[in-house]
Amino acid sequence: MLQELGNALSFVILAAILPPLILFISKFFRPSYPHSGKLTTYECGETPKGSAYVQFNNHFYLVAIVFLVFDVEVALLFPVMTLFRDAVLKGGPEAAQVFLLSFGFLFILFVGLIYEWKKGDIDWIKVATNRKTALESGELKSRKIPAEQRTV
């Protein structure tokens, strides 16, 4: 087993030393004439304005947290699922145990997903998708976005 892990590690190490090696070798062949224009940030030909670390949608953070919960869940279920085949083929109560354990766990998280869905956190654009049609149908009173809907 340790031998197999060593094999896998040798692949990762080889793949990791390959890019620096290629870049190092190409150093002897490629030109290098840096000047200030070449080294500026690319902003479609304009002089770059301000820092590149602009504010972005808070939603990315929320997605990352939800992902963390689900991914840990999937990772936890992997070892449990390997038991299922043997338990079923052997017969007896273990299959029911594995089934209830894993899918009870899955169900609780699925309720969480439904809560998230109902709360609108999965929708990337929360409310203001159809503002124009909503305005025309009279559903929306004014053109101004109410404070609680300004999430985009």
Partner 1 sequence: MAVFSVLAAVIIILLFAMPVGGICTYIERKVSADMQERIGPNRVGPLGLLQFFADGIKMFLKEDTAPKNADLPIYNLAPILVMAGSLGAFALIPFAKYVIGADLDIGVFYIMALGSLISLGILLGAWSSDNKWSLLGGMRVAAQIISYEIPLGIAVLSIVLVSGTLSMSGIVEHQAWPNGTAAGGHFWNVFHNPFLFINFFIYFISALAECNRTPFDLPEAESELVSGFNTEFSGMRFGLYALAEFADVIMFSCVATAIFLGGWHLPFVNIGELNIGLRLGGHDLTPLIQTLIMIGVFLAKVSVLVFVVMWIRWTLPRLRVDQLMALCWKYLIPIGFVNLVGCAVWFWVFKGASMLQVTSRLLGVH
Q: Which residues bind partner 1 (CB under 8 A)?
A: 1, 3-8, 10-12, 14-16, 18-20, 22-23, 26, 29-34, 36, 38-44, 52-54, 56-57, 59-60, 63-64, 67, 70-71, 74-75, 77-78, 81-86, 88-89, 95, 99, 103, 106, 110, 113, 117, 122-125, 129
Rounded to a whole number of angstroms, the minimum distance from the CB of residue 145 to partner 1 is 18
Comparing CB distances to partner 1, the nearer of 27 and 141 is 27
Comparing CB distances to partner 1, the nearer of 93 and 138 is 93
Question: Among positive and negative, which fits the CA dihedral 7, 9, 12, 13?
Answer: negative
Amino acid (1-letter code) at residue 45: G
Comparing CB distances to partner 1, the nearer of 77 and 145 is 77
Which residues have C-beta within 8 Å of that of residue 112, sequence separation ≥ 6?
69
Rounded to a whole number of angstroms, the minimum distance from the CB of residue 141 to partner 1 is 25
DSSP count for the chain of H helices, then E strands: 5, 0
How many alpha carbons lie under 13 Å from residue 152 in its C-beta half-sphere?
Answer: 10
Instruction: Map residue 135 onto helix, strand or coil.
Output: helix
